Amino acid sequence: MLKVKDGDLRRMDLLFRRYRDPLFAFVFRMTNQREASEDMVQNVFYRMIRSRHTFTGNGEFRTWMYHLARNVVKDYYKKDARNGNHLDIAVFDEKMRGDDDADRQLEKQQDIRLLQTALQKLSTEDREIIILSRFHELKYYEIARILDSTVGAVKTRMHRAMNQLKTMLLKSGTNEM
């Protein structure tokens, strides 16, 4: 990114190839809308180019990138508060994992649907912190930078969000039996 910042825009191709899929996964898990997520990923890379002067190189590139992605998702929700047709996140996750065993695949799809449903019931802020930490394996200090918060606040929010998610999943599990 430092080379892109210095004007070598050809390097954006490498960043795009390397980070397109993780960004898509983050945005898709936040919005649950495939086409909108694809557009938002493009928008994140556009903002990277447009805002390249703000990348200092002091922190990790991923932290800066997810901060931009978070802002793109926020802007999307501001522009479009409606709930449309949602594509199932299980389709994307199954393609990423490539599990061949049909029984396990079906069970995994059901688990993913339960998780997807529970995640969508969380507030945007709680869903975001879980996705960044658990799905994208960012450290708390990285999430704190992305959210302009403290590590302590991130830990507290994460603990509360995970408790809410566990409660929802437990309720879902007992309702299906």
Window from 7-11, 34-38, 132-136, 161-165 with minimum mean pLDDT: 7-11
User: Is 38's pLDDT higher than 90?
Assistant: yes
Percent of the chain with pLDDT over 70: 79
For residue 24, name the pLDDT band (cuts at 50, 70, 90).
very high
Give the DSSP H or E segment for 104.
Answer: helix 102-121
Task: Report the Cα–Cα distance between both ends of the chain, in Å, rounded.
Answer: 50
Lowest mean per-residue pLDDT among 1-15, 95-109, 139-153: 95-109
The whole-number pLDDT of residue 153 equals 94
Task: Give the torsion sign (CA, 70, 76, 81, 84).
Answer: negative
What type of residue is 82? R
Q: Which pTM value belongs to this model?
A: 0.57
Average pLDDT over residues 122-146: 89
Check pLDDT > 70 for residue 87.
no
- Residue 60, classed as helix, strand or coil, is coil
139/146 Cα distance (integer angstroms): 11
Q: What residues have CB less than 8 Å from 21, skipping those under 6 apart? A: 96
What is the pLDDT confidence band of residue 155, given thresholds at 50, 70 and 90?
very high
Rounded to whole angstroms, the Cα distance separating 116 from 110 reads 10
What's the CA gap between 144 and 150, in Å, rounded? Answer: 5
DSSP 59: S
Tell me which DSSP letter residue 100 carries: -
Instruction: With a cut of 90, say whether residue 14 has pLDDT above it.
Output: no
What is the largest distance, in Å, between two alpha-carbon atoms of the chain?
Answer: 59
Alpha-carbon distances of 114 from 10, 97, 117, 169, rounded to whole Å? 42, 18, 5, 7
- State residue 69's pLDDT score: 92
Q: Is 175 exposed, middle or buried (0-12, 13-18, 19+ CB in 10 A)?
A: exposed
The domains found in the chain, sorted by start residue, are 1-87 (1.10.1740.10), 101-177 (1.10.10.10)
**Confidence band, pLDDT 50/70/90 cuts, at residue 105:** low
Mean pLDDT rounded to a whole number for the chain: 79
For the cut 60, the answer to whether the pLDDT of residue 104 exceeds it is: no
The 10 Å Cβ neighbour count of residue 33 is: 19
